[in-house]
Amino acid sequence: MPKLTIVTRSGVEHEVEGVAGRSVMENIRDAGIDELQALCGGSCACATCHVHLDPASTGQVPAMEEDEQDLLEGSCHRTETSRLSCQIRLTPAMSGLRLTIAPEE
């Protein structure tokens, strides 16, 4: 099982055993971390599952698609490592992925 380190908005770190094949968003919610609203349920129709990848983790995930790019353009908290966690499908190769939940809009 791939391991994820999730840092909450308040700086609390959670290391969780993720489930490969599920989205990072689903893994965060399954771990009981309720800071992500994920209002669209993972259909890439909002940006309420916005996270910042640790710079060392950016190479572990596939490039973002145009829809994700468009949604993140409107965020006041966008950084070079911003991603929508619903659009990252967790794989065993991503073990060690580290991310921080973005501030709420």
Instruction: Catalogue all structural domains in the chain, each as residue range(s) with its CATH number.
Output: 3-101 (3.10.20.30)
pTM: 0.95
Give the integer Cα–Cα distance in Å for 43 and 58. Answer: 22
Percent residues over pLDDT 90 in the chain: 97
**Which residues are CB-contacts of 89 (< 8 A; sequence separation ≥ 6)?**
21, 22, 23, 24
pLDDT tens string 71-87 = 999 999 999 999 999 99
How sure is the predictor about 9, in pLDDT bands with cuts at 50, 70 and 90?
very high
Res 2: pLDDT: 97
Token pair of 23 as six digits: 């989205």
Average pLDDT over residues 57-84: 95
Residues in contact with 24: Cβ distance below 8 Å, sequence separation at least 6, in sequence order: 4, 18, 51, 85, 86, 88, 89, 90, 97, 99
Categorize the per-residue pLDDT at 105 as very low, low, confident or very high, splitting at 50, 70 and 90: confident
